[in-house]
Structure 1
Amino acid sequence: MSSMNLSAATRLLAIEGTINARDLGGLPTDDGRRVRRGVLIRSAELDKLTDRGLAALRDQHCVATILDLRSTRERTKRPPANGLHSGLTLVHYDYATSSADMERLWAKGEVIHAEVHAMMLDIYRRLPWEQAEGFRLLFELVETGRMPILFHCAAGKDRTGVAAALLLSALGVTRDAIYDDFLMSERCFEANRARFAGNGADALLLRAEWEPILRTDRAYLDAMFAAFDARGGVEFYFAGTLGFDASRIEQLRAVMLEAA
């Protein structure tokens, strides 16, 4: 079974009040093992989580820890749904949203699709370093935290997508499976668009030229991995930026992998 068929068959999760939720379990590694099922979930933000969605997190998926990768402003504007604080460990770190790229294009007034796409490529080249503190938190929670863990950002595709790609890389998951997981977020394109409909100035993002912001493009992950190659490789990033040398990476694998 290919990683994409495995994803479509078993990994998508229906959690009422959020989108883009899936289990990272079952993905294959280069050495023939698989990621444990039911211990690591990625999703979009949880501010609209319903009572049934909360019950699914607690009773069906038994989530113990939630890592929120959103900025301080995002968390203030759209705080976690009521009830998440009870019995769950909520983890985040404070940072200001850096929107210089967006503001530069916004100020132009008229932009073309290629400019927005190029902006997204630049964002992915920088995200592993700009969001390193959040990604380090994820690695540390997997290493020592209470499982299962759910991690999310706003749409669950960019910061969350990079976080997932990094962790899966550390676990030795095959590159094809990493891309398959990343591209699954494209299934939520229409749901992602709906977040901006009728939302004042944000509705401008629904125009065709701004579409790359809402899409999940293989080229984005290509840009990220190329940035690693230009800086000594992804293992150098794990050790030098996140503080996870080979021995700590092996510990992650011991926690997260099982025989196929």
Structure 2
Amino acid sequence: MKTLVNFRDIGGIKTQDGKEVVTGKLFRSGEIVKLSEADKKEFTDTYGIKTIIDFRGEQEVSERPDDSIPGVSYVNIDIMRDSKGNTASFDDLVAVKESSKEQMEKIYYDMITTESGRHGYKEFLETIVKDDEPIIFHCFAGKDRTGLGAALVLGVLGVSEDEIKRDYLKTNEQRREANAQIVAELRAKGMTEEQLEEILVMMTVDLSYLEVARDAITENYGSLEDYVYNGLGVEPSVIAKLKQLYLK
């Protein structure tokens, strides 16, 4: 889809025990805003997507609401509600005053540890097992809130860390053109090259951010399993259903 940035199926990846994540069921992307009519048709007719899960906050959703697509339900889960001024929204990313890398590390730590992050990812896992129909999840750029959501699902399904990183890093290639356009627009508004370099850091992903999330899980909860069951409070039946629906 030409007007949906950072769109991809997270299926087709092998797990460590020889199974495979099913294709055509779980998709990820950036914001679903101002899609072409052709892409809207492809969204439903080709991919059969029935549910949109939007990880953005109230202000983001209000300013740039997702397109309304006939036959597609919408769920909003504000992952970063409790991270004031540190939300991974576009406005917060470009307004950052400190090191961009330090800001991104704070974002990933908060996504794992705040109440809104834990409650949000719990609701996410519970939502994607309700129906056996294709689902798409996204945030603004489809890289941080969405990237961690994808890493969480793939990790629970038994995908190796290397494969999770491979999917995560695809964002940098798939957002290359969109990021270049953002930089060009901000340059035209008078931002310095130094400022633009920092913003470009904020608009790309880095494996060190995933490591911050992994370390936060280890330090605060123990293992990924402990995080899911104890940190998020997800019932074992949800994880069993997740594996039933998304593994083959």
- Judging changes above 3 Å, is the alpha-carbon distance between structure 1 residues 101 and 153 closer, same or farther for their aligned structure 2 residues? closer
The code of the aligned residue for 1:192 comes to N
Residue 243 (structure 1) aligns with: 233
> How far is 1:176 from its partner?
0.8
How many angstroms apart in 2 are the aligned matches of 1:256 and 1:162? 18
Residue 210 (structure 2) aligns with: 221
How many angstroms apart in 1 are the aligned matches of 2:168 and 2:197? 22
How many angstroms apart in 2 are the aligned matches of 1:206 and 1:48? 28
How many angstroms apart in 1 are the aligned matches of 2:143 and 2:84? 17
**Pairing of 1:155-170 with structure 2 (within 5 A):** 155-170=141-156
1:98-141 superposed Cα distances (whole Å, 9 cap, x missing partner): 215997x9585xx5xxx221221222122123322332222112
Answer whether contact 1:25 1:40 (CA < 8 A) is retained: yes
User: Identical aligned pairs, as a percentage?
Assistant: 31
How many angstroms apart in 2 are the aligned matches of 1:48 and 1:248? 34
Answer whether contact 1:73 1:96 (CA < 8 A) is retained: no
How many angstroms apart in 1 are the aligned matches of 2:189 and 2:216? 32
How many angstroms apart in 2 are the aligned matches of 1:125 and 1:117? 12
> How far is 1:248 from its partner?
2.9
Secondary structure at the counterpart of residue 91 of structure 1: strand
Give the counterpart of 2:52 among 66, 72, 95: 66
Secondary structure at the counterpart of residue 128 of structure 2: helix
- Judging changes above 3 Å, is the alpha-carbon distance between structure 1 residues 107 and 23 closer, same or farther for their aligned structure 2 residues? closer
Q: How many residues align?
A: 237
Residue 7 (structure 1) aligns with: none
Answer whether contact 1:18 1:45 (CA < 8 A) is retained: yes
**Pairing of 1:10-49 with structure 2 (within 5 A):** 15-49=1-35
Gapped regions of structure 1 (runs ≥ 5): 1-14
Residue 198 (structure 1) aligns with: 185
Residue 151 (structure 1) aligns with: 137
Give the counterpart of 1:120 among 89, 104, 110: 104
> How far is 1:55 from its partner?
0.5
Gapped regions of structure 2 (runs ≥ 5): none
TM-score by length of 2: 0.85
When structure 1 is superposed on structure 2, of 163-172 and 136-145 the one drifting more is 136-145
> How far is 1:234 from its partner?
1.5
